[in-house]
Amino acid sequence: MKGFEPQIVAFCCLNCAYSAADLAGSMRRQYAPNVRIIEIPCTGAIDQRVLLQTFEEGADGVFVAGCLEGDCRYQVGNIRAKKRVKALQKILDETGLGGERLEMFNLSAAMGNRFAEIADEMTRRIRCLGPSPLRRK
Ligand code: FES
């Protein structure tokens, strides 16, 4: 869609993805400015209501970025988040919003470049999908 600039919200674990985003900035690694980062203590803290509410409040895309599997400070927070994201993707598909608008990524604090790639990747994806049906209403 011409002129459409996606609004993407990234819930980033303080112990990894948030630092990776910070590192991308320190490295002056350019990435899409469409991503608004929200710092969370662990991806295990995020529940489906919060993710749904983020869409309701106008996000076109949402991603959750947590520690690498096996590295979660709370053992299984990122595994729980992965299951929640997967279940919600299904619901988003069923409701017509589109499960592709939601994604989960795992990365370490040292993966600044990867964070930038993810931000670009999600921006491209959501740009192709167009504005969220919730935002259009
Ligand atoms: Fe990072 Fe749990 S502490 S995902």
Contacts of 88 (CB under 8 A, 6+ apart): 48, 51, 52, 99, 102
CA-78 nearest atom, ligand 1: 4
Please report, as a single letter, which amino acid is at residue 18: Y
Per-residue pLDDT reduced to its tens digit, 117-133: 999 999 999 999 999 99
Q: How many domains does the chain have?
A: 1
- Atom number in ligand 1 closest to CA 17: 1
Domain that holds residue 75: 8-129
Give the DSSP H or E segment for 80: helix 77-95
Q: Is 42 in the pocket of ligand 1 (CB under 6 A)?
A: yes
Ligand 1 near 106 CB (within 6 A)? no
Is residue 1 assigned to a domain?
no
Q: Is the pLDDT of residue 41 over 80?
A: yes
Q: Distance from the CA of 4 to the center of ligand 1, in angstroms?
A: 33
Confidence band (pLDDT; 50, 70, 90) for 3? confident
Q: What is the mean pLDDT of the chain?
A: 95
Query: Per-residue pLDDT tens for 60-87?
Result: 999 999 999 999 999 999 999 999 999 9
Which CATH number do you get for residue 41? 3.40.50.960
Instruction: Decide if 99 is inside a domain.
Output: yes
- Nearest Cα neighbor of 115 from 12, 38, 9, 39 is 12
User: 43 C-alpha to center of ligand 1: Å?
Assistant: 5
135: in domain: no
| CA 56 to centroid of ligand 1, rounded, Å | 25
Indicate if the pLDDT at residue 136 is higher than 70.
no
Is the pLDDT confidence value at 137 over 60? no
Asked if residue 134 is part of any domain, the answer here is no
2: Cα separation from own chain's centroid: 23
C-alpha 76 – ligand 1 centre gap (Å): 8
